[in-house]
Amino acid sequence: MSQSPSVPLTTADGVPLKTSLRRAVRRSKVKAFLLVSPLLLFLGIAFVMPIVEMLWRSVDNPEVSTQLSRTVAALEGWDGESLPGEPVFAALAEDLREGQEARNLGLLSSRLNYEKSGMRSTISRTARRIGRVEPPFREALIEINDTWGELDTWKLIQREATPYTLSYYLAAVDLQLSPTGEIVQVPDHLKVHVGLFWRTFWMSAMITGLTLLLGYPIAFLLTNLPLRHSNLLMILVLLPFWTSLLVRTTTWIAILQSQGVLNDVMVALGVIADEARWQMIHNKAGTIIAMTHILLPFMILPLYSVMKTIPPSYMRAARSLGGKPFLSFRRVYFPLTIPGIAAGGILVFILSIGYYITPALVGGQSGRFITNYIAYHMQTSLNWGLAAAIASILLFVVIVFYMIFNRLIGVDKVKLG
Amino acid sequence: MAIPSYATRGERIWHYVFLGICALIFLFLVGPLLIIIPLSFNAEPYFTFSEKMLSLDPAGYSLRWYADFFTSSAWLNSIKNSFIIGIASTILATILGTVAALGLSNRHMPARGAIMALLISPMIVPLIISAAAMFFFFSKVNLAQTYLGVILAHTALGIPFVVITVTATLSSFDTTLIKAAHSLGANPTRTFFKVVLPLVTPGVVSGALFAFITSFDEVVVVLFISGPAQTTMPIQMWSGIREQISPTILAVATMLVLLSMLLLTTLELLRRRSERLRGITPE
């Protein structure tokens, strides 16, 4: 190489090759990014912003600070040792009067009621009579409802005057703040969420285990059959995969319900008596059976794609070296399929903990998932902050598993059909 | 899966036991889908086989649930909605997803992994979370209870499928074909339409099918963000299953099973076409 370093290589028009190359790469980068940007923009608006809005709502706490703004201001500097003085009560009366006229005390009373039950009726009763209240306000308000004479009520208002709160997250894991600001357990009869989280996790783990148990032999069979036969059998795997979720859930209702096909068959065969039909649906069993069926293809497909890459000669080699079939399988074949087990397992587990429709339709009371509680708080109890907090926790769990999945397998390796 | 000639008797027995187990698992996979087909012709309003049906008495069978479906304005309206929403969101998702996939397959694409992870996330984030989030956000910007809102939501849910299938097609795309086209004198536009597009089309079409079926089958998001005017077929089924269990649902389910068979066949044909175009002939 006699090329002198002071004379750089150039293109035909005299631009140094390096510069020219860098320019070309940059142009290519910009072009690629421009192609992706419309989609990024769209998802940013239609998907990412809603998620951010939800995360924000799980800590958002505007009710007390806006609707009781005078009271909150008057409470500033209050020592919390004894009942606040007359100016605070006067401010409260003014806030409530304004709220009553604007008819917007509903959110405030619900919000305070989450923290201290009874606050809803306290506020509505006081607001109804606020028009006739004469000074001194302190005596008058306590006269209307003695909750106003409790120190805890005022500590609560002072505490919840912040624009952000963690109380929805605490409620999502069955904790609450005591009047003195310590984190304590909620009373036992109100504990629902932690139990539901655990149930969701262990039922999903069980469903994952069952799909593995059923999916492994099928993937193995599909791998080892001649392509012509395996293609045909693959259709049997893909058909349920492509069939509407509601159809599959409906069909399990038809099969499993106590007047359903399976019970009829067993009665006809004399396995069970007509009056002792099994309750296989609207309970845990229903959820587990239906979801195992629904998620089974998601286990088979990743297992199959991994098994496809294992050369059959490995097993033959193991056998020829004297390994008994089971030993060869355990020591040679099985370890090679672990990436597939991991991929299918994580995929099924992630999908399973987020399922809502199937547990809601066939789960009954005992087969419900935490997702059913998100829907409950969204639609029935209307505690949206709590729904958002539970959803955020679930989202966090899913993202952690998704990242593990991505690290192990890579999202772009996901194959469909 | 042939038994090797050196197999012992125990291995032979195990081989047949294994095949038997596999047959049972296949029955578990497909049986439930097949069982509702005869059930949907039940003359009685039950979810189970009547005596008459079992004795193959024609009187035990009827088309009344199908008639019920085709004369019900609620069902027909929900089908119409499903198609409007499904087709609109498929078109949007396919265009956005295909264009993005072209960019993603460029090897100079910056932050490829992170962007891919973001584009796939609507598929991974549980539907109930997307639904709750979209409900909060869409109510704020007045998109809740509108067709546009549902269409945008379904577009977001369908996009990962288009991105995955089209990038998969592009990753096995032989770029020397483009160079060959150029060297034979084709300009970039002509190359795209004559060489790239025909080879990518199967991926685009199957991505579009995935997006359509996602929208067509989606319950949770519609449940949260749609109003009564946007009732889709899954919503109609959902309320049918929860409120009055009428066998009309079985008739609908049967038609949907047939639809998925049709879809599966289409996809299989597309896959074969794509393999043939690339010169990989199946045995």
Retrieve residue A36's tokens: 């992706």
Cβ separation B137–A242 shorter than 8 A = no
Task: State the smallest CA–CA distance between residue A250 and chain B in angstroms.
Answer: 7
Task: State the smallest CA–CA distance between residue A235 and chain B in angstroms.
Answer: 8
Angle at A150 between CA A147 and CA A156, to 5 degrees: 90
Task: State the smallest CA–CA distance between residue A326 and chain B in angstroms.
Answer: 10
**Residue B282: CB atoms within 10 Å:** 10
How far apart CA B32 and CA B95 sit, in angstroms, is 36
Query: What count of residues does chain A have?
Result: 417
How far apart CA A147 and CA A295 sit, in angstroms, is 52
Exposure of A1 in the CB half-sphere (CA atoms within 13 A): 4
**Residue closest to A249 by CA, chosen among A361, A349, A154:** A361
Give the chain B residue whose CA is nearest to the CA of A357. B220
Contacts of B129 in chain A (CB under 8 A): 51, 54, 354, 374, 391, 394-395, 398
In the predicted model, residues of chain A with pLDDT beneath 70 are 1-6, 410-417
Contacts of A398 in chain B (CB under 8 A): 124-126, 129
Cβ separation A29–B135 shorter than 8 A = no
Contacts of B130 in chain A (CB under 8 A): 47, 50-51
Locus of tokens 């769990």: A397
Q: pTM of the prediction?
A: 0.86
DSSP one-letter string for B43-95:
SSSSSS--HHHHTT-GGGB--HHHHHHHH-HHHHHHHHHHHHHHHHHHHHHHH
What is the pLDDT, as a whole number, of residue B279? 63
Helix, strand, or coil (residue B273)? helix
CA A91 to chain centre: 42
Nearest CB to A264 within list B48, B100, B242: B48
Query: DSSP assignment, residue A118?
Result: T
Query: What count of residues does chain B have?
Result: 283
Size of interface A-B (CB pairs under 8 A): 265
**Residue closest to B116 by CA, chosen among A6, A326, A410:** A410
**A230 contacts A223 by C-beta, under 8 angstroms:** yes
**Residue closest to A294 by CA, chosen among A250, A337, A260, A346:** A250
Cβ separation B30–A214 shorter than 8 A = no
Exposure of A280 in the CB half-sphere (CA atoms within 13 A): 20
CB proximity B99 to A under 8 Å: yes
How far apart CA B111 and CA B102 sit, in angstroms, is 15
**A253 contacts A260 by C-beta, under 8 angstroms:** yes
Nearest CB to A398 within list B125, B206, B241: B125
Mean pLDDT per 10-residue run, chain B (283 residues)? 74 89 93 86 76 73 82 88 94 93 83 85 91 92 89 94 88 81 87 84 87 91 88 88 79 87 83 70 43
What is the pLDDT, as a whole number, of residue A96? 83
**A280 contacts A289 by C-beta, under 8 angstroms:** yes
What is the pLDDT, as a whole number, of residue A417? 46
Sort B71 into a burial class: Cβ within 10 Å, 0-12 / 13-18 / 19+.
Answer: exposed
**Residue closest to B155 by CA, chosen among B235, B227, B211, B99:** B211
How far apart CA A411 and CA B242 sit, in angstroms, is 36
Helix, strand, or coil (residue A61)? coil
CB proximity B53 to A under 8 Å: no
Q: Please identify among residues 185-214 of chain B the ones whose CB lies closer than 8 Å to any CB of chain A.
A: 206, 210, 213
**B241 contacts A246 by C-beta, under 8 angstroms:** yes
Task: State the smallest CA–CA distance between residue A230 and chain B in angstroms.
Answer: 10
DSSP one-letter string for A126-163:
HHHHGGG--S-HHHHHHHH-GGGG-HHHHHHHHHTTSS
CA B281 to chain centre: 26
How far apart CA A151 and CA B126 sit, in angstroms, is 43
How far apart CA A343 and CA A364 sit, in angstroms, is 30
Q: What one-letter code names the amino acid at A12?
A: A
Helix, strand, or coil (residue A373)? helix
**Residue closest to B21 by CA, chosen among A231, A218, A233:** A218
**Residue closest to B221 by CA, chosen among B205, B209, B238, B208:** B238
Angle at B87 between CA B86 and CA B89, to 5 degrees: 70
What is the pLDDT, as a whole number, of residue B169? 83
Q: What one-letter code names the amino acid at A91?
A: A
- pLDDT, one tens digit per residue, over B145-198 is 889 999 999 999 999 999 988 888 887 777 788 888 888 888 888 888 888 888
Q: Provide ipTM, 2 decimals.
A: 0.85
Locus of tokens 């973001």: B118
**B98 contacts B162 by C-beta, under 8 angstroms:** yes
Rg (CA), chain B: 24
Contacts of A293 in chain B (CB under 8 A): 28-29, 32
- pLDDT, one tens digit per residue, over B133-153 is 999 999 888 888 889 999 999
Locus of tokens 């304004």: A98
**Residue A185: CB atoms within 10 Å:** 12
Retrieve residue A67's tokens: 């609707």
What is the pLDDT, as a whole number, of residue A293? 94
**B75 contacts B81 by C-beta, under 8 angstroms:** no
Retrieve residue B119's tokens: 């584009």
Nearest CB to B25 within list A36, A214, A411: A214
- Between B64-71 and B248-277, two packed helices, what is the crossing angle to 10 degrees? 80
